[in-house]
Amino acid sequence: MKKTLMVAALTGVFATAAHAQSSVTLYGLIDAGLTYTNNNIVPGSGGSGHSNWKATSGSVNGSRWGLRGSEDLGGGLKAIFTLENGFNIMNGTNSQGGREFGRQAFVGLSSNQFGAVTLGRQYDSVVDFIAPLALTGTQYGGTQFAHPFDNDNLDNTFRVDNSVKYTSANYAGFKFGAMYGFSNQAGGFANNRAYSAGVSYNYGPLNVAGAYFQSNNAGTVNAVTGVQTAGAVTNDQTPFASGRQRIFGGGLNYAFGPATVGFVFTQTMFDNGVGLTNVGTQGLGSVGLGNSARFTNYEVNGRYNLTPALSIAGNYTYTDSRIEGEKPKFHQFNLQTAYALSKRTDVYLQGEYQHVTDTDGLPGGATINGVGIASSNNQVSATVGMRHRF
């Protein structure tokens, strides 16, 4: 009888310990490289260009470290959190406007049956659902493969503060989600907010997704000086300031054997005063683009694993834009090859070429994301680098 009671007591203790099981994981990625660009505007030169060699951090994937944790609450329910810092490996400074956890910072509840609800600083639904189908924002191209100025945010240039997000569980390949970012301003509930929604479906080798994002008062543009101020909800490295920003699009990927091919379409629209906010290092000052702008992006991409360690990836993006009646058109070709030295470390070589026409309304000429604006309509860039994950 005593043995039976002891076994029962120990079983209860272990069951309680199992329900209270928790874990915290330290993780990160470091991306460092050397980048050559054939034409960059020289700061303070009045718009003249010159070739440039520079040491770069995050040419493909932004360098980061983070803490990810969960606590089992029983019944398939968990408490979860993520704190993720972005940094520049070349000078040790924080990215995302100097924030301690600028890439992500959220806490919430996750259910195996119903999905997850999280609160904090988070990615929007366009990033969650469409970006994995493009090469920008992934390990196969990243920063420099972004669409012009990262106008559709597929490369995660900005995050949404003060946000509540729901992400569903996987229902036979079907997932959906939505996010709302609060203005946190008395009397300004609808004037400075962001919201988005997305859906995806996976069936064997086929992946399909679509999403929508809108930000109200995503910054202001001074009509006299042209100076831009980014909005409070997306207030870090936002490529554009405007009274309203809308992004919608979709894409698909299909895998066969070691190869994957895909197509992505996005359209980004800006209203009520538009200005570029990421050209300060080009010696151009603030650049206003009028009252409205639109960028329509078409990307065709593919990747192939030549061996388990060696991969090749490439894409072509055509961007048709409208800026106050002007019609700049961007053509960009990208190619990357990467070789895995181990499961955690790889080296890569990638190159980009961009040609832009009808550049009225744009600062300078061609502009490959992350390398700077050119003084002419053509720009070439190449990077050799390495990534280490931990």
CATH number, domain containing residue 98: 2.40.160.10
The pLDDT value given to residue 243: 87
The pLDDT value given to residue 221: 53
Q: Rounded to whole angstroms, how far apart are CA atoms 194 and 182?
A: 7
The pLDDT value given to residue 2: 45
Q: Rounded to whole angstroms, how far apart are CA atoms 211 and 197?
A: 6
Q: Rounded to whole angstroms, how far apart are CA atoms 7 and 176?
A: 45
This prediction has a pTM of 0.88
Identify whether 313 is part of a domain: yes
Residues 6 or more apart whose CB falls under 8 angstroms from that of 97 comprise: 235, 236, 237
The pLDDT value given to residue 183: 86
Residues 6 or more apart whose CB falls under 8 angstroms from that of 15 comprise: none
Using an 8 Å Cβ cutoff, are 33 and 350 in contact?
Answer: no
Low-confidence stretches of the chain (pLDDT beneath 70)? 1-20, 44-46, 218-237, 278-286
Identify whether 49 is part of a domain: yes
The pLDDT value given to residue 331: 98
Say how many domains are in the chain: 1
Identify whether 18 is part of a domain: no
Identify whether 359 is part of a domain: yes
Cβ atoms within 10 Å of 201's Cβ, excluding its own: 16
Identify whether 260 is part of a domain: yes
Identify whether 302 is part of a domain: yes
Q: Rounded to whole angstroms, how far apart are CA atoms 86 and 198?
A: 25
Q: 243, exposed or middle or buried, with CB in 10 Å at 0-12, 13-18, 19+?
A: buried
Give 366's DSSP letter: -
Q: 339, exposed or middle or buried, with CB in 10 Å at 0-12, 13-18, 19+?
A: middle
Structural domain boundaries, residue 127? 23-389
Three-state secondary-structure class, residue 61: coil
Identify whether 14 is part of a domain: no
The pLDDT value given to residue 218: 67
Three-state secondary-structure class, residue 280: helix
The pLDDT value given to residue 239: 81
The pLDDT value given to residue 369: 93
The pLDDT value given to residue 225: 43
The pLDDT value given to residue 240: 85
Half-sphere exposure of 109 (CA within 13 A, CB side): 8
Inter-CA distances, 144 with 35, 64, 333, Å: 11, 17, 11
